[in-house]
Amino acid sequence: MHYQDQLLKKIFSGILFVILISSQCFSATRPTVTLISVAGMNDQFWLNVHAVGKAAANDLGINLEILYSNRDHYLAVNIARNVANRKNKPDYVIVVGEKNSASRSIPILDKAGIKTFLFGEMTSNESLKIGQPREKFKNYIGKRAIDDYMAGYLSAKYIFEKAIELKRHDSNGKINILSLEGVRETSFNSERVRGLQKAMKEFPQVVLLQSVSANWNYNDAKRVVGRLLARHKHSKISAIWCANSQMARGAQNAFKNNLVSGVDWGNDDVQSIADRSISAAAGGHVLELGWILTMLYDHHFGKDFSASMYKNKVTLMDYKLAKKILKWFGKGQWGTIDFKKFSKAYNPTLKKYNMNFSAALNSLNK
């Protein structure tokens, strides 16, 4: 019996030693990551993206720094230059594919020896210049984006079907719609518009009266829609499609019709769908920064990911899902997700990444 006790003590001590060494190893080599955000500190959608990133960094043990470019792509490139010139450089920098800032920042960061990851996608011209990850620039190691094309398609298809179901057609049987685009020099916008166009081909009774940029902005959308409704006052407007949900809320405020859809899930957007003010919003990419940080954490600890593009599956949020999101996350309580569950470094038996909003929701039930 005494021998068995001694053996158990040795085994237990060995386990504690391994745990101690592992924890010291992980804490001593905490990866440092800098995000050069396209947004400011109060942007509704990006506020949640940043909050998710902070929650994931806290889970995983990452030192996360967020630098804000306030939608100024020249400032974003200057921030990249300043980071590249630091004496103590971060292990990784995340750049965002907007207004050519990523394609100008990647060569600067690559030359400085900083591993860089792209959040989003670049235009075709940018991609020709930069190439794929690890192709022309060895420190440009990966990219991840949502399927903006599918987001535009699903959000458009939903309101077209609803308009037909509710018989919102005019006397000629046409479903007349308006479209609000975001910043047109971005892949986020162009891909979502391409999705809208795909949906329109499937619904020949839908007529797009006019498409105008409202710069991703609530107030711009509200003002623009007021003008468009006056301009098309002799047409029966059935629905409005928007390239993001901030514009959808602004459009609904002027339109006073709940057949409005968008893309992105800010706190107010989720609440608007739960209140049935707007119909639906495609998204799930609010978690994207969390997924990117998980992949970078794994890369840092020897679990490298493929250099090919990772695309996040899009989820269409309707009234039921909005209620569920408010139940689980309230007003941005993203710390309820444990990002360690999705990490290969923390879960050595994990063979394939399963990173999307549905997987996050399912993990909360386990």
Chain segment 20-31, per-residue pLDDT in tens: 334 434 445 899
Beta strand 280-283 with 315-317 is antiparallel
pLDDT at 239: 96
Strand partners, 102: none
All domains of the chain, ordered by start, with CATH? 31-146+285-314+335-364 (3.40.50.2300), 149-283 (3.40.50.2300)
pLDDT at 266: 79
pLDDT at 55: 96
pLDDT at 25: 42
At residue 242, what are phi and psi to the nearest 5 degrees?
Answer: -130, 145
pLDDT at 99: 80
pLDDT at 310: 84
Chain segment 3-55, per-residue pLDDT in tens: 455 544 444 444 333 333 344 344 458 999 999 999 888 887 898 899 999 99
For residues 116 and 106, what is the distance between their CA atoms, to the nearest angstrom? 7
87 three-state secondary structure:
coil
Q: Which of 76, 67, 79, 138 is nearest to 107 (CA)?
A: 138
E strand or H helix at 325, and its extent? helix 319-329
- Give the DSSP per-residue string, 23-73: HHHHHHT--EEEEEESS-TT-HHHHHHHHHHHHHHHHHT-EEEEEE-TT-H
For residues 340 and 362, what is the distance between their CA atoms, to the nearest angstrom? 14
Residues of the chain with pLDDT under 50: 1-3, 7-27
